[in-house]
């Protein structure tokens, strides 16, 4: 058995004639927290969807626990997904179910556990994210940070081997961000799972990640431990990590000559 629970081999993916990924290679070792970072639109979330089998690669493959994801039939994909948990960017809580029912959802749908056991498990998961007292609330009554924590409890409801996080820190206040940050690391270690974090928040991600991939222009532009990447002299990594305005990533979207465009508008 390989030490990597997820492997991405020479993966290319594109749509509408645009190639988003051009031969990406990545490995996600068991028990580690691995981050995928990159600018907006660099295809980070698409990588999670490729790992989850929601879309198929144009070339190359993703292997989860040794199985090639895009070669699986519906049952095979569902069997693989039972090993995964995913935290969506905005939580994706079911709005017609309360907090308790949201966390109980995967247990009720995918297992034959008795209701008394489900109740205990849900309360344990909610206690782990500090929201046991909120189990009767509806998603509309939760703050963004609370919704993200409930979604996290739901993602780990069945103790998955792989937990994927799509922008877990986006739009959170500093306290919620710190709480989520700590929870990702502690849940990963407690469950012995592998965590894949997609994010562009450098500080929080570097705090908990064991290994980081930087994606830019459809390829892995840099990789290494957070410490190595902090010291990196690669222009792209330096600009991203330190948030420099000038660098290989241009501030301006490609456009024509500024002055002549202004003159053109004035003339019309």
Partner 1 sequence: MIKSSLLSSIIRTLSGIGHRVTSRIWRLGASARLFYLTIIYSGESFRRFHLTLREIYATGVMSLLIMIVSAFFVGMVLALQGYNILQKYGSSDAIGVFVSLTLVRELGPVITALLFAGRAGTAITAEIGLMKTTEQLSAMEMMAVNPIARVIAPRFWAGVISMPILASLFSMVGILGGYLVAVPLIGVDDGAFWSQMQANVDVRLDIVNGLIKSVVFGVVCTMIALFQGFDAPPTAEGVSRATTRTVVISSLAVLGIDFVLTAFMLAV
Q: With CB under 8 A as the contact rule, which of the stretches 27-35, 85-93, 173-181, 222-230 interacts with partner 1?
A: 85-93
- Contact mark string toward partner 1, 223..252, x via CB under 8 A: ------------------------------
3-state DSSP call for residue 255?
coil
Q: Does 110 bind partner 1 (CB under 8 A)?
A: yes
Q: With CB under 8 A as the contact rule, which of the stretches 22-30, 106-114, 167-175, 192-200 interacts with partner 1?
A: 106-114
Q: What is the CA radius of gyration of the chain?
A: 20
Confirm if 81 and 75 have CB atoms less than 8 A apart.
Answer: no
Give the Cα separation of 204 and 62 in Å (integer).
Answer: 27
For residue 137, what are the CA distances in angstroms to 75, 100, 226?
34, 8, 38
Give the Cα separation of 192 and 25 in Å (integer).
Answer: 24
Q: Does 124 bind partner 1 (CB under 8 A)?
A: no
Q: Which of 2, 3, 10, 54 binds partner 1 (CB under 8 A)?
A: 54
Q: With CB under 8 A as the contact rule, which of the stretches 11-19, 36-44, 71-79, 184-192 interacts with partner 1?
A: 71-79
- Contact mark string toward partner 1, 1..40, x via CB under 8 A: ----------------------------------------
| Closer to partner 1 by Cβ: residue 121 or 241 | 121
Q: Which residue matches tokens 């995964």?
A: 84
Q: How many CB atoms lie within 10 A of CB 34?
A: 20
- Taking the complex as a whole, the smallest distance from the CB of residue 252 to partner 1 amounts, in Å, to 26
Q: Which of 93, 153, 181, 237 binds partner 1 (CB under 8 A)?
A: 93
Q: What angle do CA 90, 160, 157 make, to 5 degrees?
A: 60
Confirm if 9 and 59 have CB atoms less than 8 A apart.
Answer: no
Give the Cα separation of 95 and 138 in Å (integer).
Answer: 7
Confirm if 164 and 84 have CB atoms less than 8 A apart.
Answer: yes
Q: With CB under 8 A as the contact rule, which of the stretches 31-39, 63-71, 80-88, 121-129 interacts with partner 1?
A: 80-88
- Taking the complex as a whole, the smallest distance from the CB of residue 161 to partner 1 amounts, in Å, to 13
- Could you list the residues that contact partner 1 (CB under 8 A)? 52, 54, 77-79, 81-82, 84, 86, 88-90, 92-95, 105-106, 109-110
């Amino acid at each position: 058995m390989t030490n990597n629970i997820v492997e991405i081999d020479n993966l290319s993916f594109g749509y509408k004639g645009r190639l988003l990924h051009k031969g990406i290679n990545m490995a996600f070792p068991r028990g580690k927290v691995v981050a995928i970072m990159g600018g907006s639109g660099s295809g980070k979330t698409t990588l999670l969807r490729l790992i989850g089998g929601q879309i198929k690669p144009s070339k190359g493959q993703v292997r989860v626990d040794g199985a090639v994801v895009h070669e699986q039939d519906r049952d095979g994909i569902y069997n693989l997904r039972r090993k995964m948990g995913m935290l969506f960017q905005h939580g994706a809580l079911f709005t017609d179910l309360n907090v308790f029912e949201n966390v109980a959802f995967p247990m009720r749908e995918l297992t034959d556990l008795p209701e008394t056991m489900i109740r205990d498990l849900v309360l344990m998961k909610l206690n782990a994210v500090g929201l046991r007292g909120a189990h009767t609330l509806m998603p509309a009554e939760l703050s963004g940070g609370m919704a993200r924590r409930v979604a996290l409890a739901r993602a780990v409801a069945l103790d998955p081997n792989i937990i994927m996080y799509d922008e877990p820190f986006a739009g959170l206040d500093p306290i919620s961000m710190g709480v989520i940050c700590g929870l990702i690391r502690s849940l990963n270690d407690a469950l012995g799972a592998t965590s894949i974090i997609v994010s562009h928040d450098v500080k929080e991600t570097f705090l908990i990640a064991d290994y980081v991939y930087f994606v830019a222009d459809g390829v892995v532009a840099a990789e290494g431990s957070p410490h190595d990447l902090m010291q990196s002299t690669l222009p792209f990594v330096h600009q991203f990590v330190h948030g420099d305005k000038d660098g290989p990533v241009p501030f301006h979207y490609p456009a024509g000559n500024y002055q002549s465009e202004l003159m053109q508008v004035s003339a019309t």
